[in-house]
Chains A and B, each alone.
Chain A
């Protein structure tokens, strides 16, 4: 057991298993009592390459998963690693989602956001909540974690694809609107592209729910020091005050849904 200290040196871990989710997405399984709550993230160090933030896709106290899309130089190198290879992990960092018995929860996932939302669904069910899981992708082959989610009891799975190749033809936000007509959710959680998250926040607000949103910004330290991930205008670091944040807070941030910053702190519009 690690006692609570200020030690944020990486822990060297062996990749126990690699599960191929789709063409560009792998799940990495580690035997380690990380102790992450749903919504939290780690910094994954690919030795000799780089270190990048990834959300925890599952943690049962002895094993945890990271589900990772290959998008650029660091993830490309990661995808060359094999089972048995070692990486470094710092964390878990950030705030988390909380669920209680009787909660009626809508989880809205886009892209690799499906993985951390699966962890949420798992934790929500464990707490005794009722869950509707809305997952979206451009097309069927890009959908993630649908089998794992449908394996959870007390979870209704709703699929949306842009091209209609699976489930509803359209966006996750449209599915959420429809569900709200039938059901009184008291909790809405979302992880995905920031523009989608913003719409989810607006829809939930219309129905009197303050959505909880996983926010991603460029991160270097993960513990509120480097200042790379701060959001305008509050100037608060997302890695520390988030990543899980309330929509009522985010909607006051002119940055949310509009732009993000790179490793040098330069603005880029979405």
Chain B
């Protein structure tokens, strides 16, 4: 048996797979079901300070090669996380580490959120500064500017003792530079990548863009090479732990992501192709690969190409 257990920012994960933010993350019972199906950890859907409506449907669809979404970060606000999600997830002991993903339109709100969410004792705080689907509302994501990304990180860092990781956007010319700025501002690690684009798809018979928001973020198999490259760049620039996310569907995809520099692997769109049971399958596939390749401890392969 190869060892898949791995440490990330001082938190122990029984295996490197983590549910990415925004997929199956509306309720505590949903997160628990993902753990039951094999995930080593879970990330909440992005939490706002106040209730946030999200976009009208259609908000997502998939093809054989890619997936598109513009959910628009619908959420009931931090109050629901306080009253429901965290207490229920923690009842009777947490089944796996939980990462609280927070999002805001104003830098100051990230500070307030970090303070409140810390009280819920999340294992890690993930700062979402990279959603491309709310640009109309919020303007360019903070993750597209070295200055803004560092400012958000610094504020969150000052408000919590929890490990802070920053979720980065691939839609920048130099992700390594952004990562370095966040590291300088106190980030403990990264989650990369958020969705690519935004992209656009038109129904030629209806002469309308399919997503009601017109544009949406790309995820799934097509973005894996971009994600692998971003993780490689971030690792090279900072050496900090990374949740490598983007287009991972199989154990071999996960191994590839770890070789690029990821200590954990995030999966969202995998659920579309393999259902929630896919987590357990990916874990078995990773184990099998490690066994066949004489890898006793999965940690050995992290950043092995660097």
A interface residues, Cβ below 8 angstroms from B: 5-10, 12, 43, 45, 47-52, 86, 88, 90, 220-221, 223-228, 230-237, 240, 261, 263-267
A266: B residues at CB distance < 8 A: 51, 76, 80
Provided the pairs A50-B57, A226-B59 are in contact, do residues A10 and B30 lie with their beta carbons within 8 angstroms? no
Does B206 belong to the interface (CB within 8 Å)?
Answer: yes
CB distance from B110 to the nearest CB of A (A): 20
| A264 interface neighbour in B51, B59, B206, B273, Cβ under 8 Å | B51
User: Closest residue of chain A to B58, judged by CB?
Assistant: A51
Contact in complex: B56, A49 (CB < 8 Å): yes
A50: B residues at CB distance < 8 A: 56-57, 212
| A263 interface neighbour in B54, B201, B268, B271, Cβ under 8 Å | B54
Does B200 belong to the interface (CB within 8 Å)?
Answer: no
CB distance from A86 to the nearest CB of B (A): 6
Give chain B interface residues in 95-145, CB to chain A under 8 Å.
none
Provided the pairs A224-B271, A235-B29 are in contact, do residues A265 and B76 lie with their beta carbons within 8 angstroms? yes
A8: B residues at CB distance < 8 A: 61-63
User: Closest residue of chain A to B33, judged by CB?
Assistant: A235
User: Closest residue of chain B to A86, judged by CB?
Assistant: B206
Chain B interface helix/strand/loop/mixed = loop
Does B258 belong to the interface (CB within 8 Å)?
Answer: no
Contact in complex: A6, B62 (CB < 8 Å): yes
CB distance from B43 to the nearest CB of A (A): 12
Query: Whole-angstrom distance between the alpha carbons of A139 and B86 in the complex?
Result: 45
Contact in complex: B76, A227 (CB < 8 Å): no
Does B173 belong to the interface (CB within 8 Å)?
Answer: no
Extra contacts, 15 of them, besides A224-B275, A235-B30 (Cβ < 8 A), are A7-B62, A47-B208, A50-B56, A51-B59, A86-B205, A88-B58, A90-B61, A220-B71, A221-B60, A224-B271, A225-B23, A226-B24, A227-B45, A265-B74, A266-B51
Does B303 belong to the interface (CB within 8 Å)?
Answer: no
Provided the pairs A6-B63, A51-B58 are in contact, do residues A265 and B275 lie with their beta carbons within 8 angstroms? no
| B26 interface neighbour in A47, A52, A233, A261, Cβ under 8 Å | A261
User: Closest residue of chain A to B25, judged by CB?
Assistant: A227
Contact in complex: B205, A232 (CB < 8 Å): no
Contact in complex: B29, A226 (CB < 8 Å): no
4 closest A-B pairs by beta carbon, nearest first, are A235-B33, A12-B205, A235-B29, A51-B57
Contact in complex: A227, B24 (CB < 8 Å): yes
B34: A residues at CB distance < 8 A: 235
B275: A residues at CB distance < 8 A: 224, 240
Query: Whole-angstrom distance between the alpha carbons of A48 and B31 in the complex?
Result: 33
Query: Whole-angstrom distance between the alpha carbons of A48 and B207 in the complex?
Result: 10
Does B238 belong to the interface (CB within 8 Å)?
Answer: no
Contact in complex: B205, A7 (CB < 8 Å): no
A226: B residues at CB distance < 8 A: 23-24, 26, 59-60, 71
User: Closest residue of chain A to B34, judged by CB?
Assistant: A235
User: Closest residue of chain A to B57, judged by CB?
Assistant: A51
B64: A residues at CB distance < 8 A: 5-7
Contact in complex: A234, B29 (CB < 8 Å): yes
Query: Whole-angstrom distance between the alpha carbons of A86 and B205 in the complex?
Result: 9
Does B32 belong to the interface (CB within 8 Å)?
Answer: yes
Does B272 belong to the interface (CB within 8 Å)?
Answer: yes
A232: B residues at CB distance < 8 A: 27, 29
Digitize B1-45: 1 where CB-to-A-CB distance is under 8 Å, 0 elsewhere: 000000000000000000000011111111111101000000001
B53: A residues at CB distance < 8 A: 263-264
Contact in complex: A264, B52 (CB < 8 Å): yes
CB distance from B33 to the nearest CB of A (A): 3
Does B276 belong to the interface (CB within 8 Å)?
Answer: yes
| A220 interface neighbour in B59, B80, B210, B276, Cβ under 8 Å | B59
Give chain B interface residues in 243-300, CB to chain A under 8 Å.
268-269, 271-273, 275-276
B30: A residues at CB distance < 8 A: 227, 230, 235, 237
Contact in complex: B271, A48 (CB < 8 Å): no
Query: Whole-angstrom distance between the alpha carbons of A221 and B74 in the complex?
Result: 13
Provided the pairs A9-B210, A221-B59, A230-B27 are in contact, do residues A265 and B80 lie with their beta carbons within 8 angstroms? yes
User: Closest residue of chain B to A50, judged by CB?
Assistant: B56
Query: Whole-angstrom distance between the alpha carbons of A228 and B27 in the complex?
Result: 8
B51: A residues at CB distance < 8 A: 264, 266
Does B188 belong to the interface (CB within 8 Å)?
Answer: no
A5: B residues at CB distance < 8 A: 63-64
Does B75 belong to the interface (CB within 8 Å)?
Answer: yes
| B210 interface neighbour in A6, A10, A228, Cβ under 8 Å | A10
